[in-house]
């Protein structure tokens, strides 16, 4: 079977979904070939000539392309790191295919000037006109010899983000046109959100032989006609040992791993997990530590990325007892166990390099309304303990929820300012309301993005706390606090949390 991860999303680590699907297929005796377009397609773009003969910057980065794309000698300052990321973006954005099409592209995003991934008619157009896609020359040449092999009569295309949708559909359409005997299954978290939402998704079923939502291992094995024999150990095929000349764009090799699907908490009113009702499925901690040990020995990563919505307390405890070897990071709730300094020290000794923590608000009333299930007193204690133990923190806050007003936003600002010395990185976002959120029942809502497959809605804030006012607040109130501005300035651009664990040496120099 051929598994494809379409461009364009972050290309600093392999796609975790493909690795887990491949593990189940191999366990069932099905040969697997993996193609990661997020990296391969992007590197193909950087090989193309500059699209503007007068663009001196575009020509400059091409003269130093190999050095820019290589992280074998990492930058020795954060300013040099940011310059490298800027040059990587320029390599793609100034390429001839991108300039001719007018596409906006980066290592983490793709925006077509004429087509929207939120419109089913545009997805269908991309499916029927694959040759108009920026990546067409790459995927048609890359996939043709693979699809001629008898082992690849079944094709899986996994799409997790909107930025993959148009190219993913172009790939599906091209395969069905050029290789009509191939059978295509389409899945991924983006497909799951569409199928679970209120939009009419009947048109999607015309674009593949099968559309799947939810946990995919069993379904994709059965799609090939094989008997499902369990999830197996994730397999990355030759993604780390590729024939192309460059590795993933990261200061160190990252090994992604999913120990669970869905969220065990599933109460936060703002989260899509609440209305999608995705079943929480968790591997046993015994299997997880065994898998991580085997994969670490095989691929020798610098860092393990545990990709769960939240790492369970049980798994964290097991990792403390049986460290995986390499350093690791992932999302976690503010756990009461972390109020113990001793526990946080043990956590650091297990290899925990960084925790991504969803605080959302520094106003207790807002947190209660969002059903976050945390107290600010506990958050304060945990942040201090993690800092003392040497664990980096990537804190997420969100402004503009229905329960918040300007006073609540100011309290969040003040909380972050007071704890700035304990926060390594910060993500400050404006709230987007999921289209099927239960909060919509009590709000005057309207379309946010044009398109029949929209995932979010706009709404009239009950206290007049509009998106425009929030953006002004972020610029004039939040960022004017020196300590907060300094945190935001050191947050890695483009690759954000994926590269943040490698930034420790730069933080130590501050």
Q: Are residues 495 and 405 in the same domain?
A: yes
Question: Among 267-281, 403-417, 451-465, whose mean pLDDT is lowest?
Answer: 267-281
Question: Among 215-229, 334-348, 449-463, whose mean pLDDT is lowest?
Answer: 449-463
287-323 burial by CB neighbour count: b if 16+ within 10 A, else e? ebbebbeebbeebebebbbbbbbbbbeebbbbbbebb
Q: Are residues 261 and 389 in the same domain?
A: yes
The SS3 assignment for 74 reads coil
What is the structure's pLDDT at 243?
A: 46
E runs forming strands in 6-120: 33-36, 104-106, 109-111
Q: Are residues 328 and 469 in the same domain?
A: yes
Whether the Cβ atoms of residue 373 and residue 267 lie closer than 8 Å to each other:
yes
Q: What is the mean pLDDT of the chain?
A: 91
For residue 90, being part of any structural domain is answered with no
Residue that finishes a domain, picked among 204, 223, 242: 223
> Residue 330 and residue 447: Cα distance in Å, rounded?
33
Q: Are residues 317 and 458 in the same domain?
A: yes
For residue 77, being part of any structural domain is answered with no
Q: Are residues 327 and 268 in the same domain?
A: yes
More confident residue, 300 or 279: 300
User: Which of the four pLDDT bands, split at 50, 70 and 90, describes residue 435?
Assistant: confident
pLDDT above 50 (res 213):
yes
Whether the Cβ atoms of residue 434 and residue 199 lie closer than 8 Å to each other:
no
Question: Among 96-110, 372-386, 444-458, whose mean pLDDT is lowest?
Answer: 444-458
What is the structure's pLDDT at 244?
A: 44
Structure tokens at 432: 């987007």
Read off the pTM. 0.94
> Residue 110 and residue 133: Cα distance in Å, rounded?
11
Residue 93: CB atoms within 10 A of its CB come to 18
DSSP 455: -
Total domain count, the chain: 2
User: Which of the four pLDDT bands, split at 50, 70 and 90, describes residue 509?
Assistant: low
Q: Are residues 281 and 360 in the same domain?
A: yes
More confident residue, 70 or 434: 70
> Residue 207 and residue 22: Cα distance in Å, rounded?
23
- Give the largest Cα separation in the chain, rounded: 64
For residue 231, being part of any structural domain is answered with no
Q: Are residues 153 and 281 in the same domain?
A: no
CA-based Rg of the chain, rounded to a whole angstrom? 23
* Backbone torsions φ then ψ of 428, nearest 5 degrees: -110, 115
Q: Are residues 290 and 148 in the same domain?
A: no
Query: In this structure, what CATH number is given to the domain that contains residue 26?
Result: 3.40.50.280
For residue 493, being part of any structural domain is answered with yes
Q: How far, in Å, are 49, 215, 436, 438, 451 from residue 221 at the CA level?
A: 41, 12, 31, 35, 33
What is the structure's pLDDT at 152?
A: 74
Q: Are residues 352 and 447 in the same domain?
A: yes
Residue that finishes a domain, picked among 205, 223, 241: 223
Over the stretch 401-421, which tens digit does the pLDDT of each residue have? Answer: 999 999 999 999 999 999 999
Whether the Cβ atoms of residue 424 and residue 500 lie closer than 8 Å to each other:
yes
Angle at 149 between CA 148 and CA 151, to 5 degrees: 135
Whether the Cβ atoms of residue 500 and residue 425 lie closer than 8 Å to each other:
yes
Among all chains, which residue has been given the structure tokens 């108009």?
Answer: 132
Q: Are residues 153 and 262 in the same domain?
A: no
Over the stretch 142-200, which tens digit does the pLDDT of each residue have? Answer: 999 999 987 778 999 999 999 999 999 999 999 999 999 999 999 999 998 898 888 88
Q: Mean of the pLDDT values across residues 473-487?
A: 96
pLDDT above 50 (res 245):
no
Q: Are residues 342 and 476 in the same domain?
A: yes
What is the structure's pLDDT at 242?
A: 54
Over the stretch 308-347, which tens digit does the pLDDT of each residue have? Answer: 989 999 999 999 999 999 999 999 999 999 999 999 999 9
More confident residue, 51 or 151: 51
pLDDT above 80 (res 443):
no
What is the structure's pLDDT at 460?
A: 87
Q: Are residues 210 and 271 in the same domain?
A: no
Domain hosting 389: range is: 254-508
185 forms bridges with which residues in the sheet? 156, 210
> Residue 87 and residue 107: Cα distance in Å, rounded?
11
For residue 244, being part of any structural domain is answered with no
Residue that finishes a domain, picked among 223, 246, 279: 223
41-73 burial by CB neighbour count: b if 16+ within 10 A, else e? bbbbbbebebbeeeeeebeebbeebeebbebee
User: Which of the four pLDDT bands, split at 50, 70 and 90, describes residue 279?
Assistant: low
């Amino acid at each position: 079977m051929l598994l494809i991860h379409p461009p364009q999303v972050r290309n600093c680590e392999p796609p975790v979904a493909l690795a887990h699907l491949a593990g189940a297929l191999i366990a069932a005796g099905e040969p697997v070939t993996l193609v990661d377009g997020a990296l391969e397609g992007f590197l193909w773009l950087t090989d193309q000539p500059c699209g503007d003969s007068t663009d001196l910057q575009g020509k400059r980065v091409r003269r130093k392309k190999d050095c820019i794309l290589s992280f074998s000698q990492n930058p020795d300052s954060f300013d040099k790191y940011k310059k490298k990321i800027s040059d990587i973006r320029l390599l793609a954005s100034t390429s001839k295919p991108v300039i001719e099409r007018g596409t906006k592209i980066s290592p983490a995003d793709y925006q077509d000037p004429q087509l929207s991934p939120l419109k089913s008619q545009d997805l269908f157009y991309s499916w029927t006109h694959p040759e108009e896609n920026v990546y067409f020359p790459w995927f048609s040449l890359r996939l043709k010899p693979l699809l001629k092999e008898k082992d690849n009569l079944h094709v899986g295309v996994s799409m997790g983000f909107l930025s993959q949708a148009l190219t993913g559909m172009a790939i599906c359409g091209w395969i069905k046109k050029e290789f009509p005997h191939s059978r295509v299954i389409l899945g991924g978290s983006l497909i799951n959100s569409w199928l679970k939402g209120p939009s009419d998704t009947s048109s999607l079923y015309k674009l593949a032989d099968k559309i799947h939502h939810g946990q995919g291992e069993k379904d994709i094995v059965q799609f090939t006609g094989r008997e499902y024999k369990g999830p197996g150990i994730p397999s990355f095929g030759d993604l780390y040992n590729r024939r192309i000349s460059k590795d993933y764009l990261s200061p160190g090799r990252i090994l992604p791993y999913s120990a669970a699907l869905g969220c065990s908490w599933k109460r936060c009113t703002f989260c899509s997990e609440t209305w999608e009702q995705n079943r929480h499925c968790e591997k046993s901690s015994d299997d997880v530590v065994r898998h991580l040990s085997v994969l670490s020995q095989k691929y020798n990563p610098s860092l393990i990325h545990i990709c769960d919505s939240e790492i369970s307390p049980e798994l964290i405890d097991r990792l403390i007892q049986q460290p995986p070897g390499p350093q690791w990071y992932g999302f976690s709730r503010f756990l009461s166990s972390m109020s113990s300094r001793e526990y946080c020290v043990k956590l650091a000794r297990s290899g925990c390099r960084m925790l991504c923590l969803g605080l959302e608000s520094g106003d207790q009333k807002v947190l209660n309304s969002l059903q976050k299930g945390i107290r600010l007193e506990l958050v304060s204690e945990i942040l201090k303990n993690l800092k003392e133990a040497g664990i980096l923190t990537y804190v997420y806050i969100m402004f503009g929820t229905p329960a918040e007003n300007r006073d609540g936003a100011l309290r969040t600002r003040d909380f972050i300012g007071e704890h700035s010395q304990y926060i390594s990185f910060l993500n400050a976002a404006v709230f987007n309301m999921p289209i099927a959120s239960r909060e919509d029942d009590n709000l005057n809502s309207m379309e946010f993005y044009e398109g029949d497959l929209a995932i979010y809605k706009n709404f009239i804030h009950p206290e007049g706390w509009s998106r425009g006012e929030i953006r002004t607040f972020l610029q004039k109130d939040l960022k004017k606090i020196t300590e907060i501005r300094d945190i935001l300035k050191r947050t890695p651009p483009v690759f954000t949390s994926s590269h943040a664990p490698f930034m420790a040496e730069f933080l130590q120099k501050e």
